Structure 1
Amino acid sequence: MSAVLPPFGVAPLTIRNLRAPAALVDGLPHHAADSRSGLVTFDVTIRDGRFHAPTSSEREWDAQGRLALPGFIDMHVHLDKAFTSERTGFSDNGLASAVELAMADAPNRTVEDIVARMDRALVRTEQHGTVALRTHLDTFEEPDTSPAWIAFGEIQSAWKHRLTLQAVALMALFRVEHDDFDRRCAQIAKRDGVLGAFIGPGSATPERIDRLFLAAARHGLDLDLHVDETTDASADGLSLVVETALRHKFAGRIVAGHCCALAQKHEPEAQALIAGIAEAGIHVVALPLTNGFLQDRKTGRTPRLRGLAPVTELRAAGVNVAFASDNVQDAFYPYGDFDMLDVMRQAQFLGQLEGNPADWATAYHAGAAAAMGLENAGMIRAGGPADAILFEATGWTDLFSRTNTARTVLRNGKPFGAATAEAVRIERRRA
């Protein structure tokens, strides 16, 4: 396979013999999918920054079967805590230990500190080929005075022409009982944010979940929840979320993140709950890196459990499942680089999904976009923006086996270069 790439950016360019998962190619003629890999071979023309059905062109390039994926959608991260592990250390005893370390560092998270780390994170995100990202923000204060929300507002403005960014207000569930909760929701709505909550063992009650849903409906907010992030099979947060969603006929989107405990429940109970998730139209995002690192973690003991939601059973029931980066170089997960290829690789291994990797490709692209409410994202689509990643690989084994697989990131039909990757300079003016 020749390593010589075409002169992108001089329109139009027709690329022959690309390969991509059939589920991620729309409106472009292609051959039947390979029965083993689920990949299709197709041609495409890039013109005016968009994909088009192939036409004869003076400039053509034979991709020789290179694998192409749409721009990644990373729908669950924590930008406000990213790159703090040098300050915090990392947990050696599970989730509770990580929370303690992160909380001890919270006073260090000034607006200036968060802006700098968010900017660094988005540079890495963009370089790896992600086009949209949703971050949870620790919302100790009301958003109007929260350093995390103030920093996110600056970053979102600075990056608005480069990445699609969304924010979720991550709060302890007990805050629904506080007098300022309605005001918090109004401030989240004003920022086009998403209402979040950490629903851990012992914190979920029918009354609290009911208040959460009523507030979301009142303010027109979608929900994105940390729920049952534990291997304790008795955790009931997810079941309460499902019951409440069905009872209220909630019209907004609901994302349930983590859902680790679901994998530990007895099979009949798990299947009944999965059926309820599907009926309620709840999206599930699994986080293989952080949950693989934290769940069933105890000092001096080898973990017995993987901590991954039962993604195969969820998908089989018709639930939209996504995967995402979650924590990057912080107290919860001291590794990572906002590279969704790393997430793909680990999800394949931990979830034993290698039998049908093409079927799971939507979990990093179109499925994640649907959970975020994004249109025209996560697909290689005729008429859509020419945002894609071309890998120096011709199939899944190539892609997942070599950790240094080269890639070319296309944004609006042009290659993303080192000069583009410089950090955005933000001039902060104070009154």
Structure 2
Amino acid sequence: MILNARPQTKGAWFTNALVPAALTEGFALGASDAGNGLASFDFGITAEGRLTAERGDAKPVDLQGRMVLPTFVDSHVHFDKAYIVARTGIPDGGLMEAVRLSTADAGNWTAADLRARMTRALTRAYHNGTSAMRTHLDTPVMPADSPAWQVFCEMRRDWAGRVDLQAVALMALERVEGPDFAERCQQIADMGGILGAFIAPNTATPERLDSLFTCARAAGLDVDFHVDETLDPKANALELICDSILRSGFDGRVMAGHCCSLRSAAPADLARITGKVARSGVHVVSLPHTNLFLQDRASGRTPALRGITAARELAAAGASIHFASDNVQDPFYPYGDFDMFDSFRMAVRAAHLDSDIAAWALRQFRTAAKACGFDHHGRLSAGASADLILFDANNWTDLMSRPAQDRVVLRAGEPLPSQIFNLRDLFAMEPS
């Protein structure tokens, strides 16, 4: 099979695929390997573009052991900052310089500018195989007055059926003390959003967090934090979040992004905090590209520390942990293509997850979907829409080694046209 062709897929029966067994539902799997979690997988696509376990008289297509994955959930991105690096430049220093460069560019974020960049972001994510995304939107003003929120609501409507979208109203934790905070929460709820808080160093207190969760509960909001985005082992906001949840019994979904300081925690502190994360039900999302780029970054020297959170220790404690893209082509991470496969591959390599990739794939798909409430994403289910990614790889090592372009994305059973420009096309062009 040639992966850059557009095969006839609707009405076909596919044999000899390989799939992570834990990511299927309603299919009889063939030979499996407990060591790598992969199983042989036959499936069909109906004329209506749905997955089926019934072959009928469908034409067989032998996939020859190639791997199939569900479409991705990307649970933490920043549409409002994407693709501004050409205007801002790349920071010499770390997080705070990236914040300064981004803030200085915010005057350019008109509705037209935001619309163009958000459309570009969604187009790239869609063609790379992502079907659900959660974006953070800087919200220093009231949400109803925010151009970013207005454009996001347009995108959510226009992309429905292609990419399911959620948005987080990101603001400093100190906003909880303002007289308009309850109204802010109600506006976020009215717009179908999520309450977000960036916790700067030394700003988390039990009182502020308790107040935030009280207001979130009153408005029926889930909560999403930027927290402990530092390698300082004294950073303790994640633990304070867990303590507040355990005190209050808050039962909405809570996500905590970054959590880099766990990487530097002493063993006893790490065990205590990861245990609280598990008990409180907080979903940790690690953001390898951005954190490896910004943490321990200083002009003129090579970083000595790895900025990724303690992913393996969180998993060992029974806590919820997965990975996401975060920033793309902005001062926080000047590269990237809204490609969740690239983010997952980076996580496997940087966090040394290769000993049990199948378990991490389960977290990457099902845990990410559960953390956001994207319930029908992250698995291949008989009867569901045929949304999947076919890779030119026959095992995990192949998958983690081959160029990211070697894939075919199917949505509702139809292969998406490739967005990759082939250099050979240059030689077919007419001279100008």
Return the TM-score normalized by structure 1.
Answer: 0.94
Tell me if structure 1 keeps the 8 A contact 2:196–2:225: yes
Match of 2:22 in 1: 23
Asked whether the equivalents of residues 15 and 63 of structure 1 are also in contact (C-alpha less than 8 Å), the reply is yes
Secondary structure, aligned partner of 1:200: coil
Q: CA deviation at 1:57?
A: 2.4
Instruction: Name the % identity.
Output: 49
Quote the residue 2:39 is aligned against.
40
Within the alignment, does 1:360 sit opposite 2:360 as a pair? yes
More displaced 10-residue stretch of structure 1: 230-239 or 374-383 = 374-383
1:262 maps to: 262
Aligned to 1:387: 387
Deviation per CA, 1:193-235: give whole Å up to 9, x if none. Answer: 1101001211111111111111111100001111101001101
For residues 281-309 of structure 1, what are the alpha-carbon distances to aligned partners after superposition, in whole Å with 9 as ceiling and x for unaligned? 11110000000000011111211111111
Corresponding residue for residue 66 of structure 1 = 66
Query: SS at 2:297's partner residue?
Result: coil
Structure 2 CA distance for aligned equivalents of residues 366 and 139 of structure 1: 29
Name the residue aligned to 1:192.
Answer: 192
Alpha-carbon spacing, 1:104–1:4, altered in 2? closer, same or farther (3 Å): closer
The 1-side partners of 2:3 and 2:301 are apart by 46
Q: Partners of 2:2 and 2:402 in 1: how far apart? A: 18
Equivalences for residues 29-428 of structure 1 within 5 A: 29-47=28-46, 48-417=48-417
Distance 1:244 1:96 in 2: 27
Question: Is 1:204–1:240's contact at 8 Å kept on the other side of the alignment?
Answer: yes
Give me the whole-angstrom Cα distance separating, in 2, the residues matched to 1:159 and 1:87: 27
The answer (yes or no) to whether the contact 1:139–1:171 under 8 Å persists in 2 is yes
Structure 2: unaligned runs, 5 residues or longer: 420-432
C-alpha change, 1:103 and 1:324, in structure 2 (3 Å) is same
RMSD of aligned alpha carbons: 1.5
Instruction: Rate the CA distance shift 1:212–1:372 in 2: closer, same or farther, 3 A.
Output: same
The residue matched to 1:304 in structure 2 has which SS? coil
Kept after mapping to 2: 8 A contact 1:76/1:136? yes
CA distance in 2, matches of 1:69, 1:233: 37
Query: Helix, strand or coil: the match of 2:33?
Result: coil
5+ residue gaps in structure 1? 420-431
Q: Secondary structure at the match of 2:354?
A: coil
Deviations 1:116-143 (A, max 9, x none): 1000000000010000000000001111
The alpha-carbon deviation at position 54 of structure 1 amounts to 3.6
**Residues 292-333 of structure 1: CA distance to partner in whole angstroms, max 9, x if unpaired?**
000011111211111111111111122121100000000100
Q: TM-score scaled to structure 2, two decimals?
A: 0.94
Q: What one-letter code is carried by the residue in structure 2 that aligns with 1:29?
A: A
Aligned-residue offset at 1:7: 3.9
Residue 154 of structure 2 aligns with an amino acid whose one-letter code is E
Structure 2 distance, partners of 1:52, 1:315, is 33
* Structure 2 SS opposite 1:409: strand
Task: Tell me the distance in 2 between the aligned counterparts of 1:7 and 1:259.
Answer: 43
- CA 1:121–1:3: 2 relative to 1, 3 Å: closer
**In 2, Cα distance between equivalents of 1:4 and 1:134:** 30
Q: How many residues align?
A: 418
Helix, strand or coil: the match of 1:355? helix
